[in-house]
């Protein structure tokens, strides 16, 4: 009997090990495919554009950074490559910010755009540009604006027991404040008194990375990397928080401290993205859902895959924005809003009940 029991245990252990090993292999394959998709998106974004450059010349120029002076070199190294990398930074920052906000609110529909973070960053960036603020300080202005908006939303949405934030009040306050701040941003643009500046701000408000260069990439990338570092450091806390505020408190976790730390990281990432691209909505909504569907694993893998998926989305959307219509560039934010709006409605139509983090 004991031998039979031992044999059954060995069989169950073997089956469990095989299942885990198969699951890990599937995750590894999906991760490799995702990285290849990112590399392909970057390459296609560099190769394609208004100016026709054959693939061989483009690749040779891309891998020969020292041979400057030609038009092809300037197009690839001074226009397309920095623009593609900025799209990658913006997509990654917004996606990870959205993921953190979804875990924080325990609601799959949370997004930097919907929670007021993007709008707060936007109004301060518009003020900074209108007042002639140095560009290196523009991300700081976005960070401060997003933080101020988050403080207002957090104050309004605090629980009656002061042990954390109310999810419902957080989302409602975010939507209301976002509407108010967008109107305030439009007022700042209208009162700027400079028609050229106002037109540029309006175009920036629609979302886009046209004309961006290496000088804009540097500060945004630094703030984004800091945000990624903070998100990875908070990965265990995010897992605890995803279990629910009450359950996390029963485990002895400092819920309020974790919530504020997560909110600060989300604001830092959103502020950096808004400073680079203006209002680009729904990336922080779509990427976490795709990541959760494909890689339902630990939080560190979720954060990484969110960043990769968001980067792919923005890179390909930016490519469409500058190539769909000949001799004209469409606003990046408009294209992503069309895609995100459809995704949002499809998600709500599928989930009939309360939508929460699973």
What confidence score (pLDDT) does residue 68 get? 62
| Cβ–Cβ < 8 Å for 140, 153 | no
Q: How far is CA 257 from the centre of its chain?
A: 23
What confidence score (pLDDT) does residue 67 get? 64
| Cβ–Cβ < 8 Å for 90, 313 | no
62: left (phi over 0), alpha (psi -120 to 50) or beta: alpha
Using DSSP's 3-state secondary structure scheme, residue 212 falls into coil
Does 8 score more than 80 pLDDT?
Answer: no
Which of 22-36, 117-131, 239-253 bottoms out in mean pLDDT, i.e. has the lowest?
Answer: 239-253
DSSP 262-322: HHHHHHHHHHHHHHHHS---SHHHHHHHHHHHH--S-HHHHHHHHHHHHHHHHHHHHHHHH
Residue 11, judged by CB atoms within 10 A of its CB (0-12, 13-18, 19+), counts as exposed
Max mean pLDDT among 17-21, 91-95, 207-211, 248-252 falls in 91-95
What confidence score (pLDDT) does residue 227 get? 92
Does 248 score more than 90 pLDDT?
Answer: no
What confidence score (pLDDT) does residue 36 get? 95
Provide the CB-side half-sphere exposure for 267 (13 A, CA): 26
Domain ranges, ordered by start, for the chain: 70-350
Domain 70-350, CATH number (from 3.40.1010.10, 1.10.3470.10, 3.40.50.2300, 3.90.79.10): 1.10.3470.10
Report the distance separating Cα 108 and Cα 103, nearest Å: 8
Report the distance separating Cα 178 and Cα 2, nearest Å: 66
Does 208 score more than 60 pLDDT?
Answer: yes
What is the average pLDDT value for the chain, to the nearest integer?
80
What confidence score (pLDDT) does residue 53 get? 77
């Amino acid at each position: 009997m004991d031998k039979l029991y031992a044999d059954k245990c060995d069989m169950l252990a073997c089956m469990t090990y095989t299942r885990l090993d198969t699951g890990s292999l599937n995750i590894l394959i999906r991760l490799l495919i995702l990285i290849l998709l990112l590399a392909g998106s970057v390459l296609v974004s560099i190769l394609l554009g208004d100016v026709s450059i054959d693939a061989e010349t483009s690749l040779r120029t891309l891998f020969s950074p020292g041979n400057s002076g030609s038009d092809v070199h300037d197009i690839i190294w001074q226009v397309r490559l920095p623009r593609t990398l900025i799209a990658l930074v913006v997509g990654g920052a917004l996606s990870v910010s959205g993921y953190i906000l979804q875990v924080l609110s325990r609601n799959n529909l949370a997004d930097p755009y919907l929670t007021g973070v993007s709008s707060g960053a936007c109004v301060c960036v518009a003020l900074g540009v209108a007042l002639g603020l140095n560009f290196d300080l523009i991300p700081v202005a976005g960070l401060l604006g997003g933080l101020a908006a988050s403080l207002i939303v957090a104050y309004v949405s605090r629980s009656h027991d002061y042990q954390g934030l109310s999810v419902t009040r957080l989302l409602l306050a975010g939507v209301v404040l976002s509407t108010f701040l967008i109107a305030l941003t439009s007022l700042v643009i209208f009162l700027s008194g400079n028609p050229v500046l106002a037109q540029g701000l309006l175009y920036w408000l629609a979302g886009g990375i046209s004309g961006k260069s290496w000088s804009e990439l540097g500060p945004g990338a630094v703030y984004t990397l800091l945000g990624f570092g903070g998100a990875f450091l908070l990965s265990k806390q995010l897992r605890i928080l995803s279990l629910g505020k009450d359950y996390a408190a029963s485990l002895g976790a400092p819920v309020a401290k974790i919530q504020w730390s997560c909110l600060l990281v989300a604001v830092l990432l959103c502020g950096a993205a808004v400073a680079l691209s203006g209002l680009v909505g729904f990336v922080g909504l779509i990427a976490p859902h795709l990541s959760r569907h494909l890689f339902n694993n630990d939080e560190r893998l979720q954060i990484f895959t969110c960043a990769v998926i968001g980067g792919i989305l923005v890179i390909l959307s930016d490519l469409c924005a500058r190539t769909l219509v000949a001799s004209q560039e469409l606003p990046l934010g408009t294209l992503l809003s069309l895609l995100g709006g459809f995704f949002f409605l499809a998600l709500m139509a599928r989930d009939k009940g309360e939508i929460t983090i699973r």
